[in-house]
Amino acid sequence: MSSTRQWIVDIGVTVAVTALLVATMEASPKQMSVTGYTLVLTSALTLVLRRRYPVAVLLLCAVCTINVYFVDKPDVAIELPLLCALYSTLRFGHRVIGIGTGVTYLLTLVIMNVFVLPGHPAREDIQDRILLLGWFVAAMVLGEATRLREKRVADQARNHEETLRRRGSEERLRIARELHDSLTHSISVIKVQAGVAVHLARKRGEEVPEALVAIQEASGDAMRELRQTLDVLRGEPDTSGLDRLDDLVERTRSTGLPVRLTITGHRRPLPTEIDRTAYRIVQESLTNVTRHASATSAAVHLGFGAHSLTVQIDDDGTASPSAQPVPGVGLIGMRERITALGGALSAAPRSSGGFTVRAELPVS
């Protein structure tokens, strides 16, 4: 139940109990004093807080009700707020205090009627308290039954969540095994073959093609990224962050794409998720530039603000200012990461040609 709905229910119960008490006291031939009225209404109105402070409300209701008997000796039942408070106390798990307060209240009334406030015959007073005891027992049993039912529902929901989490973990492990078996071998072969080709070229004194060196380095990077991905799928933390940004820029430059890195503001440690997301944004953007943009240069800018981190990647590729970007898996993944952290992402062609990816990440 939402917080707003809880307040509505509590207010409704309080209004209903207060109205019923007022009607009962007005219908009684014996008029109550202003003090008695105030005490009864106080015990009724405090029920609006019974969910947040069940013990305090119970004790206040008990004290107010006892004092009404001292002041007025009413001939109508005024224990309805106390019964509601007793139910709430048992419902929210305060069994010892609830039962103790109920028993103490009943014994106090018996002692008061017999020894302190003589009026009716003692036998009638004891009979009235025995009848009231039944209502108290009913309130306590109902509160305890409600508590057990809610606990059972919560346990079932928790067990269901744990089952889903376990199945998700098993599925991630299965995917990790499949990726390891299918991709690791292929990428390793590419890396070894490229390394052998580079070694033979240097051994013969030939100039090593830049593309071959780029393949060797890219395959090594792919192996590292794959291992990190497998670690994440297995539940181990991803350690990629902005501390590796310089290496990422150098690897991109080795492919033949000049990259300029600028940092403004006071560079400082960031929350882990922000740090990792910022690195992934730069990585994915530079990958897209090298693959699709036909660019001659790229620029990476990090802006450290007081409450946010700005990540912007510009290129001078062939994207037309009027062209609409087609969101691929990488762009969708970036947007999901940023949105989950409360940030914003824009990716659009530049007016002067090329493409810009800009992300705003909150760091406070």
pLDDT tens string 219-241: 777 777 777 777 777 766 666 78
Question: Per-residue pLDDT averaged across 34-63, rounded?
Answer: 90
* Average pLDDT of the residues in 282-289: 86
- The pLDDT of residue 1 is 61
Q: Judge if pTM exceeds 0.75.
A: no
The string of DSSP letters for 206-251 reads PPPPHHHHHHHHHHHHHHHHHHHHHHHHTTPPP---GGGHHHHHHH
Closest CA to 299 of 262, 263, 260: 260
Place of tokens 């409450």: 307
pLDDT at 9: 87
Mean of pLDDT over the chain = 82
Q: Which residue has the higher pLDDT, 136 or 124?
A: 136
Interval 308-313 mean pLDDT:
92
Q: Say how far apart CA 175 and CA 170 lie, in whole Å.
A: 9
DSSP state of 211: H
- Please state the rounded mean pLDDT for residues 132-146: 85
Question: What pLDDT was estimated at residue 311?
Answer: 93
User: Which residue type is seen at 330?
Assistant: G
Please say if the pLDDT value at position 98 is more than 50: yes
| Choice among 48-52, 102-106, 290-294 with the minimum mean pLDDT | 290-294
What is d(CA 322, CA 345) in angstroms, rounded to the nearest whole number?
19
- pLDDT band for position 261 (50/70/90)? very high
- In this prediction, residues 304-331 reach a mean pLDDT of 76
- Give the pLDDT score at 303: 92
Say which CATH architecture domain 242-362 belongs to.
Answer: 2-Layer Sandwich (3.30)
Least confident of 171-180, 334-343, 345-354: 171-180
**Burial, 195: exposed, middle or buried (Cβ in 10 Å; 0-12, 13-18, 19+)?**
middle
> What token pair was written down for 77?
């039942």
Half-sphere exposure of 58 (CA within 13 A, CB side): 30
* pLDDT score of 213 more than 90: no
Is the pLDDT confidence value at 301 over 90? Answer: yes
Considering only 48-57, 64-73, 267-276, 319-328, which range has the smallest mean pLDDT?
A: 319-328
- Asked if pLDDT for residue 364 goes beyond 90, the answer is no
Burial degree of 99 (CB within 10 A; 0-12, 13-18, 19+):
middle
Q: Note the pLDDT tens digit of each residue in 146-185.
A: 888 988 988 898 888 888 888 888 887 788 777 776 777 6
The pLDDT of 91-118, averaged and rounded, is 79
Cα angle 92, 97, 103 (rounded to 5 degrees) comes to 120
Average pLDDT, integer, range 193-207? 82
Is the pLDDT confidence value at 65 over 70?
Answer: yes
Q: What was the pLDDT predicted at 329?
A: 59
Beta strands 344-349 and 355-362 are antiparallel
Cα angle: 60, vertex 65, 67; to 5 degrees: 100
pLDDT at position 110 is 73
Name the pLDDT band for 326 (thresholds 50, 70, 90).
low
For residues 109 and 329, the model is more confident at 109
Q: What is the pLDDT of residue 122?
A: 47
DSSP secondary structure of 82-111: HHHHHHHHHHTT-HHHHHHHHHHHHHHHHH
**DSSP tag of 52:** T
Q: What are the Cα distances from residue 247, in Å, to 53, 108, 252, 256, 303?
A: 57, 79, 9, 15, 19
Per-residue pLDDT, 114 = 65
Q: Rounded to 5 degrees, what angle do the CA atoms 158, 163, 166 make? A: 125
Question: Is the pLDDT assigned to residue 188 strictly greater than 80?
Answer: no
pLDDT class for 56, splitting at 50, 70, 90? very high
What local confidence, expressed as pLDDT, does residue 359 receive? 92
